[in-house]
Chains A and B, each alone.
Chain A
Amino acid sequence: MKQSIVMISPAEAVPDANALCVALGWGSDNFLIALSADGTGPATHFGLRASESQSFVAALSEAVEADVSLNDVLTVDTRTDTNRALHFETITAETGLQRVAMPVDV
């Protein structure tokens, strides 16, 4: 059974959050979604969403709990993968954040 994961990190904690993810087997740059309170830059937070195994989620939870400084600032929400639809949007709304809009000339 897969799990859906949403993680949101303050910008200043992203290096530490990425280091934690590396230890779990991910790459070094995972938080691609720029966020802020009003959707304008600069980003104050960065986020991600992924589907992963239960064992990964267990290891993630353990690692976050063991890191006191990260545990204080990192938002981690997991749910069964069958409930993954709009997971990221739900958590960003709950945390009062919006995507930082990028100007695109179309």
Chain B
Amino acid sequence: MPVTSDGDPVALIKDISGNSNHAVQDVAPARPTWRTNGVLSWLEYDGADDRMVTPPISYSHPALSICAGLQYLAGGNAWGSIKSAAGSVVYAGLSSPVNGGSITNCGGQTFVNGAVAPNDRIALRTALLNKSVVSVRDTQSAQFATSSTFIAYSGTPPPAAVLFGYLEIEGATSEMIDQIEQWMAHKTGVAA
């Protein structure tokens, strides 16, 4: 059943690539909610138990880039990631700012509104408290061959956050990702 009104829970996010790698959440209380202000719409993660899970994906290209429009909400858990694989616990973008240090993102570069890696974890968490478009370029897709989560870090309490859009692309050129970032900025309501 598709969402129809602000506050509806989201149990399924369809993969529009045609590969049926849909993100699901079977546990009712752990479903993020769909929110809208009439212009923009987004997923809201409550920071308690909300997370979406994608199935194991057989990527066809070794390089995987990810672009998301998101905002962490103040308070609550500070754990988070752009994408995190269950089991092997690899991640792209962010883990616990409590631990400090730089971001590990499976070999790629992390850009947050033009700031180039290596990003400090605390600085990235702080930056993402404002609506942002974040890209993780050319990670090693093989690292994400298992079931994975996005926004929530696998195996830790999920952060409170809002997600305006999420896109994965294999073997993308820098020019393609630049265009995706502009599209994501529009969806997120921030300047491209």
Contacts and interface: CB of A to CB of B under 8 A. Distances in A.
B27 A49 contact: no
Interface string A18-29: 000100011101
A48 B49 contact: yes
B156 A26 contact: no
Interface stretch (B28-36, B110-118, B178-186): B28-36
A50 B29 contact: yes
Interface string B144-185: 000000000101110010000000000000000000000000
B155 A32 contact: no
Contact of A99 (B7, B157, B160): B157
20 contacts: A2-B33, A5-B29, A25-B28, A26-B28, A26-B29, A32-B27, A32-B30, A33-B48, A48-B48, A49-B46, A51-B9, A81-B7, A87-B48, A88-B46, A88-B48, A89-B48, A102-B156, A104-B96, A104-B155, A106-B95
Q: How large is the interface on B (under 10, 10 to 19, 20 to 34, 35 or more residues)?
A: 20 to 34
Nearest to B30: A32
A30 B29 contact: yes
Interface string A38-52: 000000000111110
Contacts of B160: 85-86
